[in-house]
Structure 1
Amino acid sequence: MSELDAQLRELATMPPAQLRSRWRDLFRQAAPAIAPDLLRRSIAWRLQERQHGRLAPSVKKKIVQLQKRLEKSGGADLTNDIALKPGTRLVREWNGKSYHVLVCEEGFEFDNRHYRSLSHIAEEITGAHWSGPRFFGLRKRGGFKPKVPADA
C-alpha cells in the first residue's frame, strides 16, 4: 500500500478535531465550518493533488463548461462532445476544392480568419446552414462518430 493510500484510509476514521488540524496543516488556514465528510473529501483532494499534480487548465475549462451546461439545461450529456487538440487540421473537399481548418485553443482558423464555430465555417464554404462537425466528418447524422486526429 502506498503512503497516499494509507493517508486516505486514515482520513476515514479521523475525528472532526483531527480533521480540522490536518486541514490547517495542508491548506495553511483554519478549516471552514463544514461537515466532517466534506473536510475529508477536501483533504483527500489536496493529498492526491500533491501526489499526482493539479488539473490541467483544459480540464478546468471543461469542468466550467459542463457546470454552465448543467445549470442551464439540468444535464451535462457528454455523448456529443468532440475533443479536438489545438494544432489539428481538418480537411474537407467540397465541389472539387479542398478546404483546411486549423483547430486553435479558442476556436478555429479558416482562410486567415478566426471562427468560434465549425458551423460558421461550413456555412461560409457551402453558402447553406450545415452542422460544422457533420460537414467535417466528425459526426454522423443522428449520432456521435468519434474521429481520431492523425497527430494523436
Structure 2
Amino acid sequence: MSRLQEQLDALASLSPVQLREKWNCIEGSTPPSVPPSLLRRLVAQRLQERRHGSLPARVTRELARVAKDGPGADPVHPRLELTPGTRLVREWNGLTISVEVLEEGFSWADRTWGSLSEIARHVTGAHWSGPRFFGLTSNV
C-alpha cells in the first residue's frame, strides 16, 4: 500500500479536531468552516494534489463557472483579442491565406470581411469556425 493511500485511509479515523489540525498542517491556515465529512474530503483532495498535482487552471475555472451558473449554462470560451495590424496566416490545400486584422473586420483577397468564419467558409466551401480554422482556439 502506498504512503498516500495510508494517509487517505487514516483520515476516516480522525476526529473533527484532528482534521482541523491536519488541515492547518497541510495548508498553514485555519480550515474552512464546514462539516467534518466535507473537511475530510478537502484534506484528502489536498493530499492527492500534493502527490499528483492539482487540476489545470482551465478545468478549475470551468468548475467554478458551473458552480456559479449551474450545470445547464453554456460553456464560456474566452475571446482572443486581436489587435489591428495582426496578420493571421494559414495554408489550405496548397493556398496560403494571409488575413490582416482591421479595426472592424478582416482584410483578405482585396476585400473586407466581417468575421474569420466568413473567410474560412469562403476558402473551404464548408462551415468552419474562423478562430479554429486560423488556429486561435483549441480543438477541445
Asked whether 1:98 is paired with 2:95, we answer yes
Matched to 2:119, the amino acid is: E
After TM superposition, the score normalised by the length of structure 2 is 0.55
Where 1:111 maps in the other structure, the secondary structure is strand
Aligned residues: 108
Paired with 1:126 and 1:31, the residues of 2 have a C-alpha distance of: 54
Q: CA deviation at 1:37?
A: 1.4
How far 1:32 moved relative to its partner? 2.3
Using structure 1 for the length normalisation, give the TM-score: 0.51
The alignment status of 1:34 with 2:29, answered yes or no, reads: no
Percent identity of equivalent pairs: 32
Q: Specify the alignment match of 1:111 in structure 2.
A: 99
| Aligned Cα root-mean-square deviation (Å) | 4.1
- How does 1:49-128 map onto structure 2 within 5 Å? 49-64=49-64, 67=66, 71=69, 74-75=71-72, 92=92, 98=95, 111-113=99-101, 120-126=115-121
**Between Structure 1 and Structure 2, whose CA radius of gyration is higher?**
2
Q: Superposition pairs for residues 3-18 of structure 1, below 5 Å?
A: 3-18=3-18
For residue 29 of structure 1, what is the amino acid of its counterpart? Answer: S
> Gaps spanning 5+ residues in structure 1: where?
79-88, 101-109, 137-146
Query: Displacement, 1:43?
Result: 0.6
1 CA distance for matches of 2:13 and 2:53? 25
Residue 112 and residue 10 in structure 1: after superposition, are their counterparts in 2 closer, same or farther (change >3 A)?
farther
Shift of 1:54: 2.5
Gaps of 5+ in 2: 76-88, 106-114, 134-138
